[in-house]
Amino acid sequence: MKKVAIAGLGTIGLVVAKRLDAGIEGLKLVAVSSGNREKAEAKLAELSSPVPMVSNETLATLADIIVDCAPTKAFDTVAESALKAGRTLVTVSGAAILKNPGIVDVARAHGGRIVLATGALLGLDAVRAAAEGNIHSIRMRTAKPPKSLVTAEYVVKNGIDLSGLTEPLKLFSGTAREGAMAFPANVNVAAALGLAGVGADRTELEIWADPALERNTHTITVDADSASFELRIQNIPTDENPGTGRITALSVIAAIKAQVAPLHVGT
């Protein structure tokens, strides 16, 4: 039985906690942490078997698997304490990994492991396989409804008004690394694509606000010496946070189940 702790009980973390509380073979929720204790305690009361709320640093002393669902600014604390204790860190924050590349060395030095859950982006098995050969180019186009981007750091910082859009507006064009830094909470998928393929600096990215869309849409085009392919996914936004797709929490659940599954499908 693997013990699991969750950092953050927001849009993603609460879904994961409830699924663990309902029962997943080989896994047991033992603790959570949150930046908002009062709100988190109210959410914990919804569980059939409430668990203690502790600090980010304490999670690693109680669990084998630490699930990082906290805001990006908490990544360092959660990740370092988990990895220095030799734990497995499951996270959706590809942007935080790009911003803190040394975290991989921390994992290596202490026998820890980082699992980047990427269910919000399809086809990474093919991208990883192609990267074992020669990839000529990778392009990604992310298009989201304006409501999914109105609170994005880049949009707010630059005073971009998305309320009256009548046609698609290109917000960003550059590398996946630049996009992940500008939109840390909105395009973790671009960071994941960069990490899986030819690197974030060689992965091209465009971000659009499109009033005609109701779903967060990602289109990836890959040209390699082994294959050429195009991948497209339309993620249904969550009601609580339109910038996060419903499939993201399910991706985390699939990732932690894989840690104890007798059969693991996919690279």
Q: How far apart are CA 37 and CA 56, in angstroms?
A: 12
Q: How far apart are CA 14 and CA 234, in angstroms?
A: 23
Q: Which of 105, 60, 111, 108 is nearest to 82 (CA)?
A: 60
143 SS3 class = strand
Residue 188 annotated as binding site: yes
Q: Which of 34, 42, 29, 38 is nearest to 9 (CA)?
A: 34
Q: How far apart are CA 42 and CA 30, in angstroms?
A: 17
Which is the catalytic residue, given 110, 136, 218, 264? 218
Q: Which of 267, 256, 262, 244 is nearest to 28 (CA)?
A: 256
Using the structure block, give the residue that is written with the tokens 């709320």.
53
Q: Does the annotation mark 218 as catalytic?
A: yes
Q: How far apart are CA 111 and CA 131, in angstroms?
A: 25
The amino acid at 225 = D
CA 87 from centroid of its chain's CA atoms: 18
Which runs of E-coded beta strand occur in the chain?
2-7, 27-33, 65-68, 88-91, 113-116, 135-144, 169-175, 203-209, 216-224, 228-235
126 SS3 class = helix
Torsion on CA atoms 148, 197, 226, 264, rounded to nearest 10 = -80
Residue 241 annotated as binding site: no
Q: Which residues are annotated as a binding site for NAD(+)?
A: 120, 188
Q: Which residues are annotated as a binding site?
A: 120, 188
- Catalytic positions are 218
